[in-house]
Amino acid sequence: MVSKSTGGKELTFLKGLFSKRTFSLILAIEALLISLPVILSLVWMKEWLALALSVVWGMLFRYNAIQVSTSWVVPTPFSRQPFEAVEGFRRFWPAWIALVIAMPFAYYVDNSNLGLFILFATIFLFQSFFKVIESSYFVWFHKHTPASFIWMKMRWSIVHLSIWMVTQALLFIFLFNEVWWHALVVYAIGVIWMPLLIVAKYALFPASLPIPEGIAVGLSMIFPPLMIVTIPYFYLRAIRNLQPLLA
């Protein structure tokens, strides 16, 4: 939810109105208010470490939404194309580091469920990169048919997801070796989700996904058998939608 509120234009506007200290305070309060239902639930369950991680993660999401001008380009382990993983890593690398550091804490409190939460958080963070809608030009210049473009995006999204979460997954396997296979299950779930997100993104490109379609995507992620219907539906719409741009 915090990631949904990370719009760049309104942040730039607010940054111009307030001092740096006041602006930072506004971001912190906003992140806390958005996260309040989760915070109250974790307090009620007395999951203090998960509470701390949720607050820190929300703050990192909010602060990294600001486009910071710098001459230093953050190196990434990803290829330039597709662009989502490169751009996402450069914006959210502090959150990635926080998730890596959090895994030993999960082991310290002997909570493998917290470790699984960290793995899922790693996947959700990666998936947030694909909310970015590129210019039509950056689709048009690809030498692909609509079908090959979609399959290329699917293939690279899975490769990049694997690179993105390998550190957290290996830490989980090493630290929680009694249930090491849980990490593989979470990874498999993430892999299954990626094709759905890709076809949904381009089904109405360059528009964002409307609420009804977004609900369909969410329900399919919660109940994967629905993907038998939703993935072909969004795939066919994406193919038709991209035909004017890709020969």
What are the pLDDT digits (tens) for 184-193? 999 999 999 9
**Stated pTM of the model:** 0.71
Q: Give the mean model confidence (pLDDT) for residues 139-160.
A: 87
Q: Is 92 found in the same domain as 165?
A: yes
Rounded CA-CA distance 47/174 in Å is 23
Q: Which residue has the higher pLDDT, 71 or 189?
A: 189
Per-residue model confidence (pLDDT) at position 67: 45
Per-residue model confidence (pLDDT) at position 91: 83
Q: Which two tokens stand for residue 68?
A: 């910071």
Q: Is 106 found in the same domain as 202?
A: yes
Q: Which amino acid is at 53?
A: L
Rounded CA-CA distance 146/224 in Å is 25
pLDDT exceeds cutoff 70 at 154: yes
Rounded CA-CA distance 124/186 in Å is 11
Q: Is 214 found in the same domain as 132?
A: yes
30, 45, 69: which is the final residue of a domain? 69
Q: Which amino acid is at 229?
A: V
Q: Is the Cβ–Cβ distance between 14 and 23 less than 8 Å? A: yes
Q: What is the DSSP letter of 80?
A: S
Q: Is 231 found in the same domain as 155?
A: yes
Q: Is 199 found in the same domain as 82?
A: yes
Q: Is 106 found in the same domain as 35?
A: no
Residues in CB range of 104: below 8 A, 6 or more apart: 171, 175
Q: Is 107 found in the same domain as 84?
A: yes
Count of the separate structural domains present in the chain: 2
69, 92, 120: which is the final residue of a domain? 69
pLDDT exceeds cutoff 80 at 222: yes
Per-residue model confidence (pLDDT) at position 130: 85
